[in-house]
Amino acid sequence: MARPDKSAAVAELTDKFRSSNAAVLTEYRGLTVAQLKQLRRSLGENAQYAVVKNTLTKIAANEAGITSLDDQFAGPTAVAFITGDPVESAKGLRDFAKDNPNLIIKGGVLDGKALSADEIKKLADLESREVLLAKLAGAMKGKQSQAAALFQALPSKLVRTVDALRAKQAEQGGAE
């Protein structure tokens, strides 16, 4: 029979897996408490970094419908549960891992899809959501102004053609 405290821990972890957009598994062996505190700050306010028990977390992930992480629950494991922009938190993890080689990114999951450590690093190389949306808006605005110029050019070309025909007819009418 499962102990109530373990059942509660599994339920809490299951809720975190279900409510987060992404989860990143890391190995933190060799990091000090001060470094872990610094890591939590570098992840941003949309992420929670929790040191977890492998067996309980594996059960919670399976209950949340995430089975792709099963082989990564080995050694001391901590999970970053990301509820906001995953790019910001991935950048925080990548940058912290550069400065502290004891932090190893094992893998993770983003919107139900498994990610390898390399894919998480590629995610960190992306620009933030706000920058990408601004670039998209700029591109759309540019295309709109091109379309407006094109639509404006057609009637003005028609008017110039009609004027040229009138002028030609006037010349031919006056020459006869």
pLDDT at site 2: 64
DSSP at 79: E
Where are the extended beta strands (E) located within 85-163? 104-110, 113-116
pLDDT at site 176: 56
pLDDT at site 46: 84
d(CA 43, CA 139): 30
109-144 exposure pattern, b = at least 16 Cβ within 10 A, e = fewer: bbeeeebebeebbebbeeeeeeeeeeeeeeeeeeee
pLDDT at site 133: 78
Place of tokens 């938190």: 89
Query: In the structure encoding, which two tokens stand for residue 28, read together?
Result: 């933190």
pLDDT at site 175: 58
d(CA 87, CA 25): 15
Q: What is the mean pLDDT of residues 14-42?
A: 87
pLDDT band at 1 (very low <50, low <70, confident <90, very high): very low
pLDDT at site 174: 61
Query: Tens of pLDDT along 99-158?
Result: 888 888 888 888 878 888 888 888 777 776 677 778 778 777 777 777 777 777 777 777
Nearest residue to 75 (alpha-carbon basis) of 29, 6, 9, 17: 29
Q: What is the mean pLDDT of residues 89-107?
A: 86
3-state secondary structure 2-32: CCHHHHHHHHHHHHHHHHCCEEEEEECCCCC
How far is the CA of 140 from the CAs of 66, 106, 134, 144, 150, in angstroms? 37, 38, 10, 6, 15
pLDDT band at 62 (very low <50, low <70, confident <90, very high): confident
Looking at per-residue pLDDT, the higher value among 127 and 174 belongs to 127
Q: What residues pair up with 25 in beta bridges, in sequence order?
A: 79, 107
d(CA 85, CA 22): 9
Q: What residues pair up with 107 in beta bridges, in sequence order?
A: 25, 116
Q: What does pTM read for this prediction?
A: 0.66
